[in-house]
Amino acid sequence: MDWSKFPKKIRIVEVGPRDGLQNEKQVTKTSDKATFIKELVEAGHQTVEVSSFVRPDRVPQMADAKELYPMVEDLLKTGVDLPCLVPNLKGLETAKELGVKEVAVFTAASDTFNQKNINATISKSFERIEPVVKEALASGMKVRGYLSTAFGCPYEGKIDPARVKEVALRLEELGCYEISLGDTVGTGSPRSVQETLDLILSDIDVKKIALHFHDTRGTALTNILTGLSMGVTVFDSSAGGLGGCPYAKGATGNVATEDLVYLCQTLGIETGVDLKKLSEASLKILTLLGKDTTSKFLRAYKNADFNLFIPTPS
């Protein structure tokens, strides 16, 4: 590998409080979520996705978004970004009332997944998203775009990279400052990531692309390595490897932030995140949830001295 081509620094979008918790059946106390978010910021995170303004009956764990956001918004003063997901104008109205500074809209490269997730085909989803993005931008908000099932769909199987590119271009044209390609069910491989990125990066600046891997089949870190080798500098991950999508049965958590940070440390890539503080925050929320972690690093951290040898490049 040509390590000299790898970025020196990446930005992590910590999605634990949203993507990580949204699939948990037992609803977490709002105050515990707020503490979790504060600890993630104390660990050095610059971007923490707080919650989503979606139908509470569809995702009960996110039903307290209106109460949660004001409990953490003071963190904005430290310069961090606290994005929230909005599926439609109703969600955007709530975001505006609360003074949210960044929102994320979401669609997919698969009609079937989109239909189940947001009750809209890809084309219908753009009818909804378009006014949301326009109004959000006009209100001075930053808008990020999620593109789910970019590397495979639980219902339609293989996804044509050309379709992914088409949807990515539409999100970019609308004004999304960044497009996060979601491997919703963890079927991406280094090869499919490379092929999809090759196609997309011929028309979209790499600085506008983020990668969002669920680690359902254990390929997330190799996929990230592929993204890094192609110049991607933004990765979504979830503290402790929490997560899943309520509309993608069997999908497990996002790649664990600890594993991503550890990988970056071994490669000499700066993340700004303190592994020890992050690990402690993750262990705390996992204990509250009564869950074990899927993070390999966190398991090692729990079971060994923290002074684990972290190899760094010479």
| Binding stretches for Mg ion (CB under 5 A) | 19
Strands 47-48 and 84-85: unpaired
> Any catalytic annotation for residue 245?
yes
**Pair of tokens at residue 313:** 């490049």
Q: Which stretch binds ligand HMG (CB under 6 A): 37-45, 66-74, 116-124, 285-293?
A: 116-124
Is 45:15 a contact under the CB 8 Å cutoff?
Answer: no
Tell me the number of residues near ligand HMG by CB under 6 A: 26
Determine the Cα–Cα distance for residues 29 and 85; give it in Å rounded to an integer.
20
Considering beta carbons, is residue 32 or 93 the nearer one to ligand HMG?
A: 93
Binding mask 254-293 for ligand HMG (x = CB under 6 A): ----------------------------------------
Determine the Cα–Cα distance for residues 81 and 35; give it in Å rounded to an integer.
16
- The kind and range of the H/E element at 179 are strand 178-183
**Pair of tokens at residue 52:** 């989503």
* 56: DSSP letter: T
Task: Tell whether residue 47 is a contact of ligand HMG (CB under 6 A).
Answer: no
Task: Tell whether residue 245 is a contact of ligand HMG (CB under 6 A).
Answer: yes
Residues within window 65-104 making contact with ligand HMG, judged by CB under 6 A: 85, 87-88, 90-91
Task: Tell whether residue 106 is a contact of ligand HMG (CB under 6 A).
Answer: yes
Residue 78, number of CB atoms within 10 A of its CB: 9
The dihedral built from the CA positions of residue 178, 47, 181 and 145, taken in this order, carries a sign that is negative
Binding mask 186-225 for ligand HMG (x = CB under 6 A): --------------------------x-x-----------
Return residues touching ligand HMG (CB under 6 A).
19, 22, 52-55, 58-59, 85, 87-88, 90-91, 106, 117-119, 146, 148, 182, 184, 212, 214, 245-247
- Catalytically annotated residues: 245
